Amino acid sequence: MSENFAVIMAGGVGSRFWPISRTHNPKQFLDILGTGKTLIQMTYDRLIHLFEPKNIFIVTNDSYCDLVKQQLPQVSNENILLEPALKNTAPCIAYSVYKIYALHPEACITIVPSDHLITDEHTFLGKLKEGINFVNHNPAIVTLGINPTRPDTGYGYIQFLTEEVEENIFKVKTFTEKPTLEIAETFIQSGDFLWNAGIFMSSAKTWIDAFEKHLPEIHDLFKAGKKFYNTPQESEYISRSYPLCSTISIDFGIIEKAKNVYVIPSSFGWSDLGTWRSVKELVSANDDGNVIIGQNIINRETQNCFVYNTSGGLIVLQGVRDLMVVESDDALMICHIEHEQEVRLIVADIKDEYNGKYN
């Protein structure tokens, strides 16, 4: 009999949220929206309604182990999987899948990011149930596709065949990564494209078959560790083997190549919180279109600005518009709203210039 597991991916560094998100304390461990909970806490609290606590696993970089334990003290050490190297999402998912398969060969595994916002949790959990039910009876990988609300160039897109396989479940036709605005507009007009939310469901056996077919080197590495999983020798094996994995995303490595991928069109108030601009769009603005988060912020004759202050110092804006202003204890970022996608590039330059001091 199948048993349902969830895996929360929490190893990213969140460079687009600099200077608040840093390598030692990235986005998923921050209360970005000022709700009183960090993003990973919100993700865990969401899943606990559908999965038993013993069946929820966290995969994160080994340098974030203490952060996970501090923010999710209810999660046992056995359920925290530590990556000894940054290798993108395919090795991360492989580690969790092969470990869970060793525990329960009939497992159904749901993979979710740790740092996304979902406002309609009831609908979200209902869509997960639909996907889990489908993969429990079919050798398939199911993803949740978000009904697009605008031609956004920051998201990947999923094209689906319009004939239903089952109610509200469709065969995936193509994936397209971050198109140009012109192409994104044609996607929206066509009506058969969805945003890729990076949420996946499949049986452990189907996941392993996919790794064996599409990423055989990763498959061989994790298959060889079968006798070590869930034993005191697991950590040593992973420390030795994990760095040998190629650095590759699950999308590029498997999802875009596999022929058994299906999608459930969904709307549940989703945002990947990919940039400061996405936060600005989610928080209520004042009459001048300004979004203010934090204390000690004064603005006069200022319009359409986003201001985020965690420093405790005073920020004063006078007669400006369309700016992103974000201040931490040791850094201040000011950029035009239209250029905020370039923050990641700026962070890379800062790392080179200051030898990682501000990363």
DSSP assignment string, 77-104: GGGEEEESS---HHHHHHHHHHHHHHH-
Q: What is the DSSP letter of 32?
A: T
> Which amino acid does the sequence have at 162?
T
Q: How many residues does the chain have?
A: 359
Note the Cα 183 to chain centre separation in Å.
24
CA proximity to 18, closest of 353, 321, 354, 340? 340
* pLDDT score at 102: 96
| pTM of the entire predicted model | 0.93
Q: What is the DSSP letter of 38?
A: -
CA proximity to 89, closest of 201, 252, 259, 244? 252
Angle between helices 204-214 and 216-223 (to 10 degrees): 130
* pLDDT score at 1: 63
Distance CA 248, CA 126 (A): 30
Note the Cα 339 to chain centre separation in Å.
22
Distance CA 10, CA 112 (A): 9
Distance CA 180, CA 154 (A): 9
Residue 181: strand pairing partners: none
Distance CA 225, CA 220 (A): 9
Contact 164, 170 (CB under 8 A): yes
Q: Structural domains in the chain?
A: 3-271 (3.90.550.10), 276-353 (no CATH)
* pLDDT score at 2: 75
Residues of the chain with pLDDT under 70: 1
CA proximity to 328, closest of 120, 24, 5, 12? 24
Radius of gyration from C-alpha coordinates of the chain: 21
Distance CA 61, CA 87 (A): 10
* pLDDT score at 151: 87
